[in-house]
Structure 1
């Protein structure tokens, strides 16, 4: 048993310990009063207060976990044995930095609640994050801090045993546009053909001719995806956009037989989960989330509880609260479009905390670390460089027994244009992410 003494129990502190102990280390803990803490004989004792108490692990608290408002934090990052630390509170305790407060700051996305420069889609920019500015975006620091705490506990309390943690890999596919041509109708197809001709885009003209003559749709890569899933025994999650046709929502209609049959097929595959990909438009008209979710439920004949935002549009806390309102219990949006790494500093599923409400919500968050478009378009990596980067990130996650989540698109396996030779990257991903 792990017991924690503190002068004040707050929602922020409770949430943080839930993340560290329950989400990462997979153990239970409890708060106790001072008298009980002093008299505990067979428990791991953590003193999270300003009191000097012997024969326990002491962490001097930072004020952030006992505040109820948003306040700009002055943060200085120090590096000790290749691990970044901030919120220094002491010089002579077991941890001179408040790893509880630090964990809360990074996993709650505290910094994203403030007004800051946004990108062209009004998203929080990776380049503005504390992690990017201090060169630890590719480090799961919350997991590392939890490991350091675990080491200290095991050293001082040799009778304690922790459960074995297992590395896990989840392969996710976003279906923004199910087919390039199939199911789009004669008007849309002809309009696209004429547009390609006028722009002298001959590769697109050839692709459209191949569809007409050979029924080859460049985005129809599903047999390849399923074949590789079975070959490498992966968990595949598909997030499907069923929004109405708009500027940034270009999928074929949810009424089209081609899309319905595809969803039904994917829904029958083993080790496969189907989730909703709320449309770009749903970020401005929230009731669309419910409409699109119900469309998918009607096709799959299953309750849909998992989601990932189209374009990774995520605004704290509004986006998560709207997902909760419409029955989503598990979201997979946490990650950046422009950079690989750990947006929330963690590679485990963990609960969402609404800082405005000062409350832990029931919604679970599973972060992703690698996206195909990040590697290819934002970072401009070659297939060889992308494979190397994927291996680096997967190794980091294996070292902390976390969950590695990758984000791919059916369209990026087309082997057309900028995606030439990227099927090999994808298969190498499936190989390299297997458990050691």
Structure 2
């Protein structure tokens, strides 16, 4: 197979149109390149090397090298040489002028396909204890570029080639942004679930967290959460979160669990509960977003994702909550590719924001831009958007062992600065239940404000 399928090329054309603001045509050539031309223009073209043999692989054993863009008079958007997955050695020159345009001797489009479609993850068995594909097994982590949006870096170079080829063309001006979301795993410390679970939490609060005050309040919180969340419940941070977001011009998205496929891992509340209905009403009234957090074992069951999405919509309809956009994230970041993605599409959801690694923050998809989903098994675009997740607080604080002090702040800042450098979107997950301490709140506010 020398070239990508037309379906794949059409999807990549859409990616380029969204990024650059113009319609480009992509067509394979007999010389092993893909020709990029400007729709409706006969003013030359850009030829891009095609290496489908490399970028159709569902493994992480690709060759790797780097390319010094500055040495060839191209401006990298980040410091240092560009990562070049799939190449054992960078050609010299990697980009050269031709009589009719330019020729790029690296498969930028193939790399974009491989990273954005998550071809690397198809059929993988080297999973963690929650059956997730871990960062430690990925090509990006093994070769040290997980914290770089490698697709965005190469598209930045492609944009420079496009401007030199068509200097009169005005490319889309991108603007850095930030999105914050909150998985509602525990909306109340003691208000829901069995008495046995409440007692276990009380024991943990005394023995581990030394939080005597919360334990003394537990019976009162339990009794008074029948109609609304208790204001002194330490995980009832929803109004505080919305206050912070509103001060900084942000919209918070709150993702609710609407099923129970594993009693020990899923939430202990029901979306129909009066206190949860009231919370949803308050979120909507303040202009924030409600979304879905599919339960623990739905990642391999598209029909279950659809059923839980329908349940959420039904509750919202009963509460007269209307939204144009419906999205969310998988519980525990569990993901089987492309099965989980198909569940989101079948549920009629607008976007998914699961794709980050639990064990290391960074750019799992190689980008910080939202983009249309693609099924690499069926070879077709989906009616779904992928909103890459760049950092989860539990990853930085816990898995990466950085705590809630300066080291964690520095990592969040580095990732956010990287997104800003490519004028992309820094998407962050922070659970409402991980804002109980002063240190957690201070760190959260510092990340938001930076």
TM tier, smaller = 0.7 to 0.9
TM-score by length of 1: 0.84
In structure 2, what is the Cα distance between the partners aligned to 1:87 and 1:427?
40
Deviates most, 286-295 or 352-361: 286-295
Q: Deviations over 1:186-239 (max 9, x none)?
A: 56434644x549x84572554221344585211111121121122111121111
1:141 aligns with 2:150: yes
Residue 84 of structure 1 aligns with which residue?
83
Alignment of 1:205-216 (within 5 A): 205-212=212-219, 216=232
Residue 396 of structure 1 aligns with which residue?
418
In structure 2, what is the Cα distance between the partners aligned to 1:98 and 1:62?
6
Residue 15 of structure 1 aligns with which residue?
11
In structure 2, what is the Cα distance between the partners aligned to 1:39 and 1:276?
40
TM-aligned CA deviation for residue 260 of structure 1: 1.5
Residue 271 of structure 2 aligns with which residue?
254
C-alpha contact (below 8 Å) 2:24/2:38 kept by paired residues: no
Q: Deviations over 1:324-346 (max 9, x none)?
A: 12222311111111111100101
Residue 425 of structure 1 aligns with which residue?
443
Residue 72 of structure 2 aligns with which residue?
none
C-alpha contact (below 8 Å) 1:179/1:217 kept by paired residues: yes
In structure 2, what is the Cα distance between the partners aligned to 1:116 and 1:297?
35
Residue 203 of structure 1 aligns with which residue?
210
C-alpha contact (below 8 Å) 1:24/1:143 kept by paired residues: no
Alignment of 1:116-135 (within 5 A): 116-135=125-144
Q: Deviations over 1:362-412 (max 9, x none)?
A: 111010111110111111114221111111111111111111111101011
In structure 2, what is the Cα distance between the partners aligned to 1:222 and 1:44?
55
Deviates most, 203-212 or 135-144: 203-212
Unaligned regions of 5+ residues in structure 1, if any? 1-5, 47-56
Structure 1 residues 185 and 142 mapped into 2: Cα distance closer, same or farther (>3 Å)? same
Unaligned regions of 5+ residues in structure 2, if any? 30-34, 70-79, 97-102, 222-229
Residue 51 of structure 1 aligns with which residue?
none
1:374 aligns with 2:395: yes
In structure 2, what is the Cα distance between the partners aligned to 1:366 and 1:23?
14
Deviates most, 105-114 or 237-246: 237-246
Residue 20 of structure 2 aligns with which residue?
25
TM-score by length of 2: 0.82
TM-aligned CA deviation for residue 77 of structure 1: 2.6
In structure 1, what is the Cα distance between the partners aligned to 2:183 and 2:272?
19
Alignment of 1:32-431 (within 5 A): 42-43=41-42, 45-46=44-45, 57-64=46-53, 74-81=62-69, 82=80, 83-88=82-87, 91=92, 93=96, 94-184=103-193, 186=195, 188-190=197-199, 192-193=201-202, 195-196=203-204, 200-201=207-208, 203-212=210-219, 216-244=232-260, 246-270=263-287, 272-301=288-317, 302=322, 305-381=326-402, 382-415=404-437, 420-431=438-449
| C-alpha RMSD over aligned residues | 3.0
Structure 1 residues 31 and 342 mapped into 2: Cα distance closer, same or farther (>3 Å)? closer
In structure 1, what is the Cα distance between the partners aligned to 2:65 and 2:187?
44
Q: Which runs of 4+ in 1 moved over 6 A?
A: 36-41
C-alpha contact (below 8 Å) 1:312/1:333 kept by paired residues: yes
Partner SS for 1:421? helix
